[in-house]
């Protein structure tokens, strides 16, 4: 895909590095690499920055002055959307879903602190299971009545426009592989709202890279998540008229590391976060990359790979959420032991 034809803002002026994890590789007896999308631009970085380059450009092209988006109470996507809006001198309103009962504290640390520091223009709190599209539309209607021109960004920035960010990432990754003469036998990432997973998958297949892409689900069972990814892949392919054909085998989902559900801590997540911090000085997050790393570690420890094979983990960011639950991360308080 020729991405030059799309409107795009640039929030990161460099390729995110691919690091070889020497200590972890020694422990696991295979070659482990990590692509550091946690080092992307905007406030504390993360995968949503890539999506926002295209989404914010679309909003600006439509002369919008207010951004509305949604997420969980410690949403990394909301943090980065707010940061992008402030960068572009636009207002930003957040709709937060309390997916875990009584989990929202506006004065909490982590992303809640950053919402306040960045100067969020409005927060609406809704109960678990609320129709988030409807809730965002209510905010948009109220703003429109005041003469504003709002732009709604879906949860995770996961639509056919935002997913272009990870089509672009696929091209960047391919160039890095070529320049470093690296081949990967598998790529792992957290699979949630689907924009990162589907965009990267379509982007890789579009340039002829057939490396298996393992999505570790952080919120849904395997069948539901496969449908989310499949539907979004088809939207990307259709909307942008790409000559890409995916088979059902291209969409690989492992749902065994979700635990009780989205954002509920698990023992595997805690162990993965501690391991990466103590072996490689890299911070994961408890909701996405911690569970995704637990999944990758589980696969490697089951002797899925040989010592000659190269495995890549896509680090999608989110470390600020660590600071909202320090006792869980350090001492395992409240983890899911089911």
Whether 337 is in a domain gets the answer no
Tens-digit pLDDT profile for residues 254-278 = 999 999 999 999 999 999 999 999 9
Judged against a pLDDT cut of 50, whether residue 163 lies above it is answered with yes
Over 90: is that where the pLDDT of 183 sits? Answer: yes
Asked if pLDDT for residue 336 goes beyond 90, the answer is no
Structure tokens at 208: 């002829």
Same domain flag for 26 and 58: no
Q: pTM of the prediction?
A: 0.96
Residue 76 sits in the same domain as residue 217: no
Q: What is the mean pLDDT of residues 149-155?
A: 98
| Tokens describing residue 152 | 């709604």
Query: Above 70 in pLDDT, residue 338?
Result: no
Do 165 and 151 belong to one domain? no
298 torsion bin: left (phi>0), alpha (psi -120 to 50), beta (else): alpha
Tell me, yes or no, whether 327 and 227 share the same domain.
Answer: yes
Among 133, 156, 179, the domain-final residue is 156
The count of domains in the chain is: 2
Residue range(s) defining the domain that contains residue 320: 3-46+159-331
Residue 97 in this model has a pLDDT that exceeds 90: yes
What gap in Å lies between CA 173 and CA 14, rounded to an integer? 12
Instruction: Name the burial class of residue 287, with classes exposed (0-12), middle (13-18) and buried (19+) by CB atoms within 10 angstroms of its CB.
Output: buried
Mean pLDDT of the chain: 96
Joined together, the tokens standing for residue 280 give 């490689």
Give yes or no: residues 200 and 327 share one domain.
yes
pLDDT at residue 162, as a whole number: 98
Whether 163 is a known active-site residue: answer no
Given the residues 75, 193, 198, 217, select the one marked as catalytic. 75
Residue 22 phi/psi, 5° resolution? -65, -45
Query: What span, in angstroms and rounded, lies between the C-alpha atoms of 37 and 168?
Result: 13
Neighbours of 189 (CB within 10 A): 27
Would you say residue 338 lies in a domain? no
Same domain as 279, residue 194: yes
275 and 258 within one domain = yes
Domain boundary among 136, 156, 176: 156
CATH number reported for the structural domain that contains residue 152 in this entry: 3.40.50.1100
pLDDT digits (tens, 9 = 90+) for 110-141: 999 999 999 999 999 999 999 999 999 999 99
Instruction: Please report whether residue 231 resides in a domain.
Output: yes
d(CA 58, CA 54): 6
Residue 241 and residue 150 share a domain = no
Pair (195, 306) in one structural domain: yes
One domain, residues 117 and 214: no
Structure tokens, 295: 């999944």
Is the domain of 173 the same as that of 249?
yes
Indicate whether 35 pLDDT > 50: yes
Verify that 74 and 166 share a domain, yes or no: no
Inside any domain, residue 336: no
Q: What is the 3-state secondary structure (H, E, C) of the chain?
A: CCHHHCCCCCCCCCCCCEEECHHHHHHHCCEEEEEEHHHCCCCCCCCHHHHHHHHHHHHHHCCCCEEEEEEECCCHHHHHHHHHHHHCCCEEEEEEEECCCCCCCCCCCCHHHHHHHHCCCEEEEEECCCCHHHHHHHHHHHHHHCCCCEEECCHHHCCCCCCHHHHHHHHHHHHHHHHHCCCCCEEEEEECCCHHHHHHHHHHHHCCCCCCEEEEECCCCHHHHHHHHHHHHHHHHHHCCCCCCCCHHHCEEECCCCCCCCCCCEHHHHHHHHHHHHHHCCCCCCCCHHHHHHHHHHHHHCCCCCCCCEEEEEECCCHHHHHHCHHHHHHCCCCECC
What mean pLDDT do residues 237-254 have? 96
């Amino acid at each position: 895909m020729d991405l030059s034809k799309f409107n795009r803002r640039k929030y990161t002026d460099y390729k995110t590095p691919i690091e070889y994890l020497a200590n972890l590789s020694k422990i696991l007896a295979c070659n482990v690499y990590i692509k550091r999308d946690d080092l992307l631009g905007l406030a504390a970085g993360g995968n949503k920055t890539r999506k926002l380059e295209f989404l914010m450009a679309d909003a600006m092209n439509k002369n919008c002055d207010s951004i509305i988006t949604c997420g969980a109470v410690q949403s990394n996507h909301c943090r980065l959307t707010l940061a992008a809006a402030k960068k572009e001198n636009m207002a930003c309103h957040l709709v937060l879903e309390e997916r875990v009962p009584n989990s929202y504290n506006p004065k909490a640390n982590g992303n809640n602190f950053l919402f306040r520091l960045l100067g969020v223009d409005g927060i609406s709190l809704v109960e678990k299971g609320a129709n988030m599209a409807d809730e965002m539309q209510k905010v948009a209607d109220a703003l429109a009545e005041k003469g504003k021109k709002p732009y709604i960004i879906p949860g995770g920035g996961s639509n056919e426009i935002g997913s272009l960010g990870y089509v672009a990432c696929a091209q960047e990754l391919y160039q890095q592989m070529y320049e470093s003469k690296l081949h990967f036998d598998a790529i792992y990432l957290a699979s949630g709202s689907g924009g990162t997973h589907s965009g990267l998958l379509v982007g890789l297949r579009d340039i002829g890279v057939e490396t298996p892409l393992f999505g570790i689900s952080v919120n849904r069972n395997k069948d539901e998540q496969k449908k989310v990814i499949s539907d979004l892949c088809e939207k990307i392919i259709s909307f942008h008229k790409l000559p890409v054909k995916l088979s059902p085998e291209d969409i690989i989902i492992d749902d065994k590391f979700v635990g009780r559900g989205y954002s509920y801590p698990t023992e595997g997540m805690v162990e993965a976060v501690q391991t990466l911090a103590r072996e490689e000085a890299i911070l994961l997050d408890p909701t996405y990359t911690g569970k995704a790393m637990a999944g990758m570690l589980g696969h490697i420890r089951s002797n899925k790979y040989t010592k000659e094979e190269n495995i890549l983990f896509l680090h999608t960011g989110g470390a600020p959420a660590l600071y909202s639950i320090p006792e869980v991360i350090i001492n395992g308080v409240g983890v899911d032991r089911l």
